[in-house]
Amino acid sequence: MEKSRVIDGLAALAQESRLDIMRYLVRKGAPGATAGRIGEQFGLPSATLAFHLNSLTAAGLLTRERAGRHSIYRADFGAVHALTAYLLQNCCSDAEAASAAGQDDAA
């Protein structure tokens, strides 16, 4: 994953409402939820909700599908996995090695 996509994803998640929306849609799984349902869940005005959904979608963390007059949003699990894999591989590898070395020393 490109560093710029990681930065976009983390920036999108670095806001309470967007993080809550993301967690909600991850729990919803493949069916996702309509924008109206998400707005009801969090009590967000439509303009505020649209701003947050657009931010998450632009960051590549959500997909949007038109179904008649409704928009269905889903977590993009591939993007979420890529983001977490990037963090674990590029940000935590030294810590894991140090932790493993410490465990070996303790044994």
Q: Is the dihedral of CA 22, 24, 27, 32 positive or negative?
A: negative
pLDDT of residue 96: 55
Beta strands in the chain (DSSP E): 33-34, 62-67, 70-75
pTM for the whole structure = 0.82
Q: Is 106 a residue whose pLDDT tops 70?
A: no
Cα-Cα-Cα-Cα torsion 36, 37, 41, 44, nearest 10 degrees, comes to -10
Query: 55-97: per-residue pLDDT in tens?
Result: 999 999 999 999 999 999 999 999 999 999 998 888 766 655 5
Q: Binning pLDDT at 50, 70 and 90, where does residue 1 land? A: confident
Query: 20-52: per-residue pLDDT in tens?
Result: 999 999 999 999 999 999 999 999 999 999 999
pLDDT of residue 64: 97
Domains assigned to the chain: 3-97 (1.10.10.10)
CB 55 within 8 A of CB 18: yes
pLDDT of residue 12: 96
